[in-house]
Structure 1
Amino acid sequence: MTYSEYRIPVKITYIGGGSLNWALTLMSDLAADSQLAAEVRLYDCDMSAALRNERIGSRFAEVSVGTPARYRAVSNLPEALEGADIVVISILPGRFEDMAKDLDIPLRYGVPQSVGDTVGPGGFMRALRAVPTFLEIGKAIKAHAPEAFVCNLTNPMSVLTGALYAAFPGIRCWGECHEVTKIRKIAAFIANRDRPERLFSFRDVDVNVLGINHLTFVDRISVAGRDLMPAYAQFAAHHRDTGWCEVDPAPEDEHARYFEDRNRVKFDLMRRFGLPAAAGDRHLAEFFPVNEYLGAHAVWQFGLTPVDYRIRHQAHRREIAEAIASGDREPEIIRSDEALVDQIAALLGGKPFTANANLPNAGQLSGFDHGAIVETNVLFSAGKLTPVKAGRLPTDLEEIIVEHSRRQTALVRALVEEDYRGLFAIFRGDPLLRQVPDRDAAAMYRDMLASTAHLLPAGLLQEAA
């Protein structure tokens, strides 16, 4: 029997199984896959959404390339976890309406955010809402699926992956993010410039990743054994002032206007620090003071993604999902850019697979605290998550990223220990608040806590005041 004919059985528990985004992406990828024979349990606090996705999953199974995956909505977390090989977590902490407050309130104090889900005041408040839930999920995994491999897809990635390890130190968990794909696509374009047949895709690009989630850099780029760093450096310098994207979106393409960029921040960071930045500009910009990129985002040619657009887009996706579930629309099998299916197959005995992932630092990234959640390459192989030795960042860049990393670690610790009085200092220390007067920073903090008080841990508002 050849490898391509072999099917790896896997039981997947999907927490957030009513998702309109990542859950359906996984369904499409499983339908396009020829490696796995999957049983997927869908758990969601909204059981009706999980049942809808169960119906959608059965539609994808009908048109699968390989062994059809089986989907089942499950009403309680212990049952969903029992016997799981893989646990996937993708949940929205609160609602988009709550996220809107995370953006609107800081903007009143002169702090714009392009995403607001990782760092800055928005990322901080999102973490406050999500960490308690992730601590409970971690404890449930310890009780019901301690041997499972756990993939966290939820932002803020570093903080929430850290919360899972805080709840269950023995957990076998990684944080999965596709942002590094963006530099790999640029590298593939460079490698293909003189090849009309477009020989290489981003999957052919090898990079060495260093940093923390959404603030990642690479110090090696290669394609088919060719060192692309000199060509990339020349390309970035050439396009630094004008920006570049492979295909200019249509002016009416609202999604592209709010989610895409022309890589000017990425290219400028290479000028400043000598290494290519890997993530998209919308994320990279949020790690630096407002006056560096966010304050002139139009000049830097990236958008601020408004929550009202996210709400409209979610409604559109819901319409599509309902149509697929009811049989009024055919499911489309499109292999996404995500690496999750390949990672699962490798962990369960398939072909080893290397990809960027977020893990506690065990020495793979020099200069960072032991146990801090860092993003480097990781080797996925039978029963193992092995971080790849990444090396060390340049000193000036390391100082910036370590500072962010220590705030993330401190935030998890404060919430685990319920040390709510120390939270404001962590909030205040973010570079996006550097130019905000102390009185305004304190007022912003109080306003943001009050805006979603019903979603925060009991006692936080009183002790944090």
Structure 2
Amino acid sequence: MTRTPVKITYIGGGSLNWATKLMADLAHDTTLAAHVRLYDIDHSAAVRNAVIGGRFGDVSKGTPATYDVAYSLEEALDGAEVVVISILPGEFEDMAQDIDIPARYGIKQAVGDTVGPGGFVRALRSIPMMLPIAEAIRDYAPSAWVCNLTNPMSVLTGAMYRAFPGIRLWGECHEVTKLRHQVAWIANQEAGELRYGHRDVRVNVLGINHFTFVDAIGLDGRDMLPAYRAFADQHGNSGWTARERDPDDEHDNYFMDRSRVKFDMFRRFGIPAAAGDRHLAEFVPQSEYLDTAEAWDFTLTPVSYRIRDRAAKRKAAAALAAGEGKPAANRSDEALVDQIKGLMGLGDFISNVNLPNRGQIEGLPLGTIVETNALFSSLGVTPLVAGRLPDSLLAIVADHAARQTALLDAVIGQRWDDLFDLFRTDPLVAPLPDDTARQMFNEMVQATSRHLPDALLQEAS
């Protein structure tokens, strides 16, 4: 069987999470012959992952992907057909400040990487990191297809389009997969057997990253919206999970929710919410869900857990690179390999992605980064018309989208004195008195000062 060659550059190639998912998915695939070039500012981490990638080759179901390491962005991008970007903006210790400082002012955040005070300051750190990457793609691989996996997704996807308007980029997020898993579970319960998976479920996605909704659900030619409505009504008060949390598993305790926020938003707005509860709750005033997170059956994930988890993953990765254990060519829930196959002409593929609004969502300005479905084919990434959100939802989405766009404008234009006024209007920050909000903003900016320009630090001093 002929395999289709593809050259993939992975920026952030020392990743302990997304890079190994890609390795497993490539090992599971039987149609691509991938060469993956790993680049990371932590060169040793990229070297480790190249060794791990070689080990996945031993269990590959098709042509084993090959892996090597680049020492510069220019070298990494040479000849790239697909570029994947998965970087950590700063350190987890910076993210801890994004969470802990607002907490001292009474602001709760479940994630803190997209909106709210944490998402805002994370964007201040990460926009200057992403702009030179986009410029390097412009200079060395302008025709490559580019997938951004880095949060805050909307702002950073927009930043790369600003730096290189001709970039062929989409932002990739797996949150919608959670709803699709629920729909497949409903159908399997009705069928009395394990007949469907989440990839069999079709949804029409509308929103912005981590605040996504669907107004149509299909499976095997059937309209599943009535069945999902009955499911949400049945479990709205008690919540639902496909399996119970393991109380001894920290990941379960901090990341599993019971979809009660999701179900409640369906009741309030009339269409199902797609993202997970921890993200959805941060887009609305704190009094709605975050103040009573335990009652809504979700957890505010502490960064201390992320740091412990990173240490455990580093240990496991080092062991795998040293030849211990055996990697498994198990397909993940991620859509990236399917998207690449679509672009390589190996079958059209539809999935939700983040792109500039070219009319796919009615009621939001053109150019706003929105999340809707797109078609991946040999013709490229074609956004699909999604329609219009209910007015009550559209107002929330439009408010956040406008703030994200204005934040990007201010950073690129170096209008540092605009930033506090934008920060002040986020729903989680808005209840604070002006002087308290200003004090918190200044403290957060100073806490991440090594990643910020001097002019901004002077404004926040």
The answer to whether TM tops 0.5 is yes
| Contact 2:354 2:372 (C-alpha < 8 Å) held by counterparts | yes
d(CA) in 1 for partners of 2:408, 2:212: 21
CA RMSD of aligned residues (A): 0.8
Pick the aligned partner of 2:40 from 39, 44, 54: 44
Aligned to 1:455: 451
1:276 correspondence with 2:276: no
Aligned to 1:321: 317
Pick the aligned partner of 1:17 from 6, 9, 13: 13
1:162 correspondence with 2:154: no
1:306 correspondence with 2:307: no
Pairing of 1:350-369 with structure 2 (within 5 A): 350-369=346-365
Aligned to 2:93: 97
Runs ≥4 residues deviating over 6 A: none
1:241 correspondence with 2:237: yes
One-letter amino acid of the counterpart of residue 359, structure 1: L
1:390 correspondence with 2:386: yes
Pick the aligned partner of 1:53 from 24, 49, 54: 49
Aligned to 2:342: 346
Pairing of 1:185-200 with structure 2 (within 5 A): 185-200=181-196
| Contact 1:422 1:464 (C-alpha < 8 Å) held by counterparts | no
One-letter amino acid of the counterpart of residue 211, structure 1: G
d(CA) in 2 for partners of 1:319, 1:329: 12
Residue 6 of structure 1, CA deviation: 3.5
One-letter amino acid of the counterpart of residue 240, structure 2: W
One-letter amino acid of the counterpart of residue 388, structure 1: L
> Which SS does the other structure have where 1:459 is aligned?
helix
> Which SS does the other structure have where 1:194 is aligned?
helix
d(CA) in 2 for partners of 1:386, 1:108: 45
Residue 464 of structure 1, CA deviation: 4.4
> Which SS does the other structure have where 1:433 is aligned?
coil
> Which SS does the other structure have where 1:40 is aligned?
strand
| Contact 2:285 2:427 (C-alpha < 8 Å) held by counterparts | yes
Residue 458 of structure 1, CA deviation: 3.0
Aligned to 1:427: 423
One-letter amino acid of the counterpart of residue 449, structure 1: V
Aligned to 2:263: 267
d(CA) in 1 for partners of 2:411, 2:344: 34
Residue 383 of structure 1, CA deviation: 3.7
1:335 correspondence with 2:322: no
Q: Which moved more, 1:407-416 or 1:164-173?
A: 407-416
| Contact 1:360 1:372 (C-alpha < 8 Å) held by counterparts | yes
Pick the aligned partner of 1:440 from 418, 425, 436: 436
| Contact 2:446 2:460 (C-alpha < 8 Å) held by counterparts | no
d(CA) in 2 for partners of 1:6, 1:364: 37
One-letter amino acid of the counterpart of residue 391, structure 2: T
One-letter amino acid of the counterpart of residue 175, structure 1: G
d(CA) in 1 for partners of 2:58, 2:184: 34
Q: Which moved more, 1:240-249 or 1:12-21?
A: 240-249
Aligned to 1:150: 146
Residue 463 of structure 1, CA deviation: 3.0
Aligned to 1:407: 403
| Contact 1:40 1:72 (C-alpha < 8 Å) held by counterparts | yes
Residue 425 of structure 1, CA deviation: 1.0
d(CA) in 1 for partners of 2:129, 2:3: 34
Q: Which moved more, 1:370-379 or 1:434-443?
A: 434-443
Residue 192 of structure 1, CA deviation: 1.2
> Which SS does the other structure have where 2:114 is aligned?
coil
Pairing of 1:202-217 with structure 2 (within 5 A): 202-217=198-213
| Contact 1:212 1:373 (C-alpha < 8 Å) held by counterparts | yes
What is the aligned residue count?
A: 461
| Contact 1:359 1:373 (C-alpha < 8 Å) held by counterparts | yes
Q: Deviations over 1:230-279 (max 9, x none)?
A: 11111111211111111112211211110110000000001110000000
One-letter amino acid of the counterpart of residue 13, structure 2: G
Could you tell me the TM-score, scaled by structure 1's length? Answer: 0.98
| Contact 1:348 1:383 (C-alpha < 8 Å) held by counterparts | no
Q: Deviations over 1:132-184 (max 9, x none)?
A: 01111110000000000000000000000000000000000000000000000
> Which SS does the other structure have where 1:432 is aligned?
coil
| Contact 1:423 1:464 (C-alpha < 8 Å) held by counterparts | no
